Amino acid sequence: MSGRISLPERGVALPDRKRLAMDSPIRNANLPSIATIPLSQHLGTPSRCVVRVGERVREGMLIGRPQGIISAAVHSPIPGVVTAIKEIDLPQGSRAEVVVIALDGEFDRLRRDRRAASTGRSEQEILTLLEETGVVGLGGAGFPTHLKLQPPKGVSVDFLLVNGIECEPYLAGDFRLMVERPSEIVEGIRTAAKLLKPRSILIGIQDLYAEAVATMRAACRESGLPIEVVALPARYPLGDERLLVKALVGREIASGLLPLAEGVAVVGVGTLMAVYEAVAFEKPLFERVVTVSGGAVREPANLKVRIGTPIGALLDECGGTKGTPERVVVGGPFTGSAVYDLGAPVTKTTTAVLALSADEVRPGRRTSCISCGKCASVCPSELDPARLFKLVERDLHLDARSEGLLDCSECGCCSYVCPARLPLVETLRVGKRLARESGVA
């Protein structure tokens, strides 16, 4: 493990808000009476709808078939009847086709009892299974897992890194999985390792999660796999793929490139759990763990939720909110999206539903930039966000690009610390898109 280095003092130390939900074991959420399932919950081409209005569907039945090279299958989370196929706005800001299913009939999940050990399947069989079950990265981006675990020809994987950092405040779903289901996660790692054939396997967990470090170490020992569990300092945004690679193996990934280019594969613990269930039970990805938390939630919890459940129902299930929350967020507080429509559905990449009070959001008045340099001092990509912000505001996208705009990982540390309350990361996000459109590589 030569070359491993500790992170520089970048990013931000956050007040501990994970405690709100950390001690609450994962429990099943109520089934939605109406599920709204987007056909695009992943990175890449939306899947193609294969059901019609009025059609009866069963639990776990395919409703969206992948199309194109990067795409993922979508399944019905509940048995019922398709009542509508329409377009809605998703919290992330994109418009997507959705299938609306009204709950009806029995839960007779297809192939529920057919269990086969992953060792009994060929690599190609496993990849096909992952594609058929629609497993994608559950940490946020939704990159199809059957593609992630399939390194391009000629690329050898040196490291398989398991991301158990979960650095955003409030989120505790990965923590609960590591504490409650460590051996299943390790089985997921076994499957990933079979496909990637890495030279070594490391699990990165933040030191705030001492309990998870212990359970994962024990499960790794039991499995007989040569896995090293590394406790890393609790600092946001250490869970960012590029930072985790740097912290664990000391390699730097150029922006725009996948870690695989440097011989590293990074997979989250939630995704590995889904990989395990897909391979062991042929279970399609139609439910996931969602942390419901925030200062405005009465009873924060970790719920196993069917995809398509409206987020308002989850808040209700957690005792409702205290007064009107300042903001309702889908995803982590640093990278998630504020929503106004509480009917918005949980998708494969929904890590959390947060109702935040004004004490937490701490809204403030915007003033001028005084170049205090705080943004640059916390930027994990070592950019000067204030300078990029000014360039983007003046439409100098190419100048911003040459000063590293595209290296911005949109972690949001700059906006979090800015005393002038400038919308730094918000502006850089837009600037990145414009720079890509206006520039040639």
Q: Which of residues 21-60 bind other proteins (CB under 8 A)?
A: none
Instruction: Pull the structure tokens for residue 423.
Output: 């919308």
Side-chain-side CA neighbours of residue 70 (13 Å) = 12
Considering the complex, state which of residue 146 and residue 246 has its C-beta at the smaller distance from other proteins.
246
Considering the complex, state which of residue 68 and residue 364 has its C-beta at the smaller distance from other proteins.
364
R_g of the chain computed on alpha carbons: 21
* Interaction of residue 437 with other proteins, rule CB under 8 A: no
Which segment (133-141, 149-157, 222-230, 421-429) binds other proteins by CB under 8 A?
421-429
* Interaction of residue 312 with other proteins, rule CB under 8 A: yes
Q: How far is the CB of 17 from other proteins (least distance, A)?
A: 9
Considering the complex, state which of residue 66 and residue 294 has its C-beta at the smaller distance from other proteins.
294
Stretch 357-376 residues interacting with other proteins (CB under 8 A): 360-365, 367-374, 376
Considering the complex, state which of residue 109 and residue 246 has its C-beta at the smaller distance from other proteins.
246
The β-bridge partners of 291 are: 302, 352
Site string for other proteins, 246-265 (x = CB under 8 A): x----xxxxx-x----x---
Which segment (72-80, 102-110, 240-248, 281-289) binds other proteins by CB under 8 A?
240-248
Q: Amino acid letter at 439?
A: G
Rama region for 45: left / alpha / beta (φ>0; ψ in -120 to 50; rest):
beta
* Interaction of residue 158 with other proteins, rule CB under 8 A: no
Stretch 160-179 residues interacting with other proteins (CB under 8 A): 169
Q: How far is the CB of 135 from other proteins (least distance, A)?
A: 26
- 290: number of Cβ within 10 Å: 24
Q: Which of 58, 121, 194, 429 binds other proteins (CB under 8 A)?
A: 429
Q: How far is the CB of 379 from other proteins (least distance, A)?
A: 9
Considering the complex, state which of residue 67 and residue 367 has its C-beta at the smaller distance from other proteins.
367
Q: Angle CA(348)–CA(350)–CA(355) in degrees, nearest 5?
A: 160
Stretch 211-230 residues interacting with other proteins (CB under 8 A): none
Q: How far is the CB of 363 from other proteins (least distance, A)?
A: 7
Q: Cis before residue 38, ω within 30 degrees of 0?
A: no
Q: Do residues 216 and 205 touch, judged by C-beta distance below 8 A?
A: yes
Site string for other proteins, 121-140 (x = CB under 8 A): --------------------
Considering the complex, state which of residue 327 and residue 348 has its C-beta at the smaller distance from other proteins.
327
Question: CA 264 to CA 297: how far, in whole Å?
Answer: 39
Instruction: Pull the structure tokens for residue 27.
Output: 């429990």
Rounded to 10°, the helix 182-196/173-180 angle is 100
Side by side, the strands of the sheet bearing 48-49 are: 48-49, 62-65, 74-75
Contacts with other proteins: how many residues (CB under 8 A)? 78
Of 226, 225, 185, whose CA–CA distance to 205 is shortest?
185
Q: How distant is the alpha carbon of residue 343 from its chain centre? A: 21
Question: CA 367 to CA 119: how far, in whole Å?
Answer: 60
Considering the complex, state which of residue 233 and residue 364 has its C-beta at the smaller distance from other proteins.
364
Q: How far is the CB of 5 from other proteins (least distance, A)?
A: 13
Question: CA 238 to CA 260: how far, in whole Å?
Answer: 19
Question: CA 41 to CA 330: how far, in whole Å?
Answer: 14
Q: How far is the CB of 282 from other proteins (least distance, A)?
A: 35
Q: How far is the CB of 381 from other proteins (least distance, A)?
A: 5
Site string for other proteins, 371-410 (x = CB under 8 A): xxxx-xx--xxxxx-xx---------------xx--x---
Residue 334 DSSP one-character state: T
